[in-house]
Structures are given as structure tokens and as C-alpha cells.
Amino acid sequence: MIKLEKIIAHIDMDAFYASIEIRDNPKLKGKPVLVGGKSKRGVVTTCSYEARKYGIKSAMPVYIAKKKCPNCIIVRPNHKKYSEVSKKIFKIINENVTDKVEKVSIDEGYLDLTDHKIDYMNRLKYLREVINKEVGITFSLGISYNKFLAKIASDWNKPNGLKIIKFEDVPEILKPLSITKVHGIGSKSKENLNNIGIYTVGDLLLLNKEYMVEIFGKHGIEIYDRIRGKDLREVEYKKRISKSIGKERTLKEDTKDIKELKKYLYAFSKEIEDSIVEENLYFKTITIKIKTTNFETHTKSRTINVFTSDSEVLYREACKLIQDINIDEKLRLIGLSVSNFINYNKKQISFFE
Ligand code: TTP
Ligand code: MG
């Protein structure tokens, strides 16, 4: 089987805590701002890009940051606020871009956009607009065909950046990067590698697989593959069970011919069966929806006493429901949906409760 190339995006908010504080106090805009504890032992959680020019970094003791930039403004962290902003951002992503999202920290996540090959760029452009308007901070985006490269890309031209790494760019584009950019290389490994003259990914590419295993243990092979653009990790999104699955169609011509309407219900039953089998679901409630020539909408539901995924059962129940509706007027739309699901493995299913 040919595996289609994936489209993975990595999103990372810019100077997250600091951006939120600046948003909430516009006097701080354009100034070196750091968020951290004011006590003697306080450390910098993050700082604005203006403060970064002075060499201030996350995890640096605040007193050192103050020495580097005496006029920097220190704001105490408000973790509850940051966590609420984070929730809002991920909700916006879910609703406007994709629900295949893996949140990896308070301000960053991976998006699997493979299902949106045609319009993913529009979706991401729209995301920028919405986050800008509804949250009021900026982020950087990296796009590539795997997680490792997408993350490298989001870091490429922060803040407010966008970078795409294509298949043909690798490994050339990675060669000048410091080895610390490679996921899996910590400060200890960095030191060891520097000691043998390895500073960049380009240098690291010179080492063979066996040697990589010698240095990094079992992760050696992963790192060897990653810097060559191979990373098979999936975006680990949480699969949510849909509340209902259904089909509806505006009829070619308005009708109240029951035979004609049943043809639609038959086709819908088959399509719904395909969708729910794919999601490993079984339903118990069937709803039919109609819209009359006068644009009045009516729905009618029935809950059966067994869970099923069978299109024959669905069709039979749908036919009963449409007959119960008592149609006087012609219809312009008909729809069928199922809900009240359980998610079972086929093997475990018992159709009777
Ligand atoms: P990061 O995404 O690493 O940093 P950032 O968003 O502040 O800046 P960048 O533009 O480079 O992405 O971390 C997200 C938040 O996590 C950050 O705003 C504060 C918090 N954090 C800490 O509290 N301690 C730390 O050591 C780091 C690195 C981050
Ligand atoms: Mg960030």
C-alpha cells in the first residue's frame, strides 16, 4: 500500500505568558518584560522578545536578568489566567481547523492536517485571524510531513512566523542547525558531542548508525532517522465520540411521494452504516428530519431497545417514522441521523443490553 504523505503543523505561541501580560496591560507593549517571581530565588518563566535582546532566557534567575537589563519590567505569573487562555486557544483550533490535535504543553501542539490537503492553508490563515481577534496574541507555525520537522519549522522565524519544510529541503536545511534543536539531545549529550567536534546537525550526519547507538543508547536510531527527515510518530489526538451521525439532502423536486422518500432513506441508511462501522459505534436512537415546501422543519425520533449498526434495522425504523409523521405538504428536504452511541469492539458486542 502506498502511504500518502502526511501534513503536520506545529503551533507554538510567542512568548506566551509575557504576551498575555502585555495584552492585558498595553503600557508594557514594546518594552522588555519578564514574567517571574520577584523573590531572591525567583526565576524567569519567559520574557518578551525585547527582553531577549539583552540575553534574558527562561529559567534564568531574576536577579541575573535584572543585571542584564536593569530597566526590565517584572510581572508576577498568573497561572490560572494562562491556563484559561490555553484552553480557549485549543478550543478555537478544534472548532476552526481540525480536531486531530495533540496538545503537548500549555502553548504548543501538533495538528494533523492530512484530511485537509486542499484547504489547510486557508484554515491556518483563518486561525491567525481568529486568535488575533479573540485571544489577542501571536503564534508561530511550522508545517511539514512529520512532527520533528514541523517543530523545527515553527521555531524557524519566531515571533509570528510561518515556515514550511518540504521533502526536498531535507537534510540540507537542517545541516546548519545546532544539535540542541534535535529532540532527544539534552545538555549532557551536547557536551559529549561538542567534545568530539560535533556542533551542528551537519556534523551529526557524518556519524554512522552504530556510533549513534553507542552515544545515545536505544534512542540513537531514532535520532539518526530524525535528522534524515524520518519520523513516524503519529499526532496523538483524543478521539471524541460524535453525538450524532446523519445525512440529509435537499430533494431535486419537492415531493410527498412516500416511495420516493423511502429511496433516500435507504441510501442514507447504507451511508450511515459505513460511517458508524468505521468509528466502531453502535446506535440506539434514530431521528428523521423533514423540511416542508414552506420551510417548516419537523423531526421525529425513536429509541429502540438494542444497540445496532445494521442498516436494515435503520431503514426499517426510518420507514416507520416517516409514515408516522403524516405528511400533508410536499417536502423539500429529508434527513436521517442516529445517536445514543456506545463504542464497542466488534468482538465484544452483545446486541442486547
Ligand atoms: P515556550 O513555548 O518554551 O516559550 P514562550 O512561549 O514563552 O516563547 P517562544 O516564543 O520562544 O515560544 O514556553 C511556553 C510557556 O511556558 C512560557 O511562556 C512560560 C512557560 N515556561 C516556564 O514556566 N518555564 C520554562 O522554563 C519555559 C521554557 C517555559
Ligand atoms: Mg511558545
Q: How many CB atoms lie within 10 A of CB 239?
A: 10
160 lines ligand 1 (CB under 6 A): no
Residues 88 and 67 in one domain: no
Distance of alpha carbon 283 from alpha carbon 246, whole angstroms: 12
Residues 64 and 153 in one domain: no
**Bigger pLDDT: 269 vs 95:** 269
Is the bond preceding 159 in cis, omega lying within 30 degrees of 0?
yes
Distance 249 CA to ligand 2 centre (A): 44
Mutate to test the pocket of ligand 1, among 50, 58, 156 (most ligand atoms within 8 A of CB): 58
Distance of alpha carbon 216 from alpha carbon 189, whole angstroms: 8
Residues 258 and 312 in one domain: yes
Distance 222 CA to ligand 2 centre (A): 25
Ligand 1 atom closest to residue 17's alpha carbon, by position in its atom list: 18
pLDDT in tens, 219-250: 999 999 999 999 999 999 987 667 899 999 98
Considering the domain boundaries, does residue 231 fall inside one? no
Considering the domain boundaries, does residue 254 fall inside one? yes
Q: Supply 39's cell numbers.
A: 523573590
108 catalytic residue (yes or no): yes
Q: Which ligand is nearest to the CA of 49?
A: 1
Considering the domain boundaries, does residue 148 fall inside one? yes
pLDDT of 347: 42
How far apart, in Å, are the Cα atoms of 263 and each of 113, 232, 313? 35, 45, 15
Average pLDDT over residues 197-201: 96
**Bigger pLDDT: 352 vs 178:** 178
Residues 270 and 200 in one domain: no
**Bigger pLDDT: 182 vs 348:** 182
Distance 78 CA to ligand 1 centre (A): 14
pLDDT of 20: 98
Residues 176 and 108 in one domain: no
Q: Is 90 exceeded by the pLDDT of residue 327?
A: no
pLDDT of 343: 79
Can you tell me which residue has the cell 507555525?
Answer: 141
Q: At what angle do helices 16-24 and 79-96 cross, to 10 degrees?
A: 100
Average pLDDT over residues 152-170: 97
pLDDT of 3: 52
Q: Supply 305's cell numbers.
A: 431497545
- Please give the DSSP secondary-structure letter assigned to residue 157: T
Q: Is 80 exceeded by the pLDDT of residue 40?
A: no
Q: Is 50 exceeded by the pLDDT of residue 72?
A: yes
**Beta-carbon contacts of residue 123 (< 8 Å; ≥ 6 apart):** 96, 97, 98, 113, 116
Q: What is the CATH number of the domain that holds 274?
A: 3.30.1490.100
14 lines ligand 1 (CB under 6 A): yes
Question: Which of 21, 50, 102, 108 is flagged as catalytic?
Answer: 108
Considering the domain boundaries, does residue 353 fall inside one? no
Query: Ligand 1, atom 4: nearest CA belongs to which residue?
Result: 15
Q: What is the CATH number of the domain that holds 107?
A: 3.30.70.270
Residues 115 and 195 in one domain: no
Counted residue by residue, the chain has a size of 353
Mutate to test the pocket of ligand 1, among 43, 107, 152, 163 (most ligand atoms within 8 A of CB): 107
Average pLDDT over residues 181-189: 89
In sequence order, what are the beta bridge partners of 10?
Answer: 110, 142
292 lines ligand 1 (CB under 6 A): no
158 lines ligand 1 (CB under 6 A): yes
In the chain, the number of structural domains is 4
Nearest 5°: phi and psi at 239?
-80, 120
Range of the structural domain that residue 291 is part of: 244-346
Distance of alpha carbon 100 from alpha carbon 94, whole angstroms: 8
pLDDT of 240: 66
Distance 349 CA to ligand 1 centre (A): 46
Ligand 1 atom closest to residue 58's alpha carbon, by position in its atom list: 26
Which of 198, 173, 170, 172 has its CA nearest to residue 185? Answer: 198
pLDDT of 345: 55
Residues 140 and 186 in one domain: no
Burial class (CB in 10 A: 0-12, 13-18, 19+), 336: buried
Helix (H) or strand (E) holding 108: strand 108-112
Distance 109 CA to ligand 1 centre (A): 13
Q: At what angle do helices 209-216 and 187-195 cross, to 10 degrees?
A: 130
13 lines ligand 1 (CB under 6 A): yes
Residues 128 and 186 in one domain: no
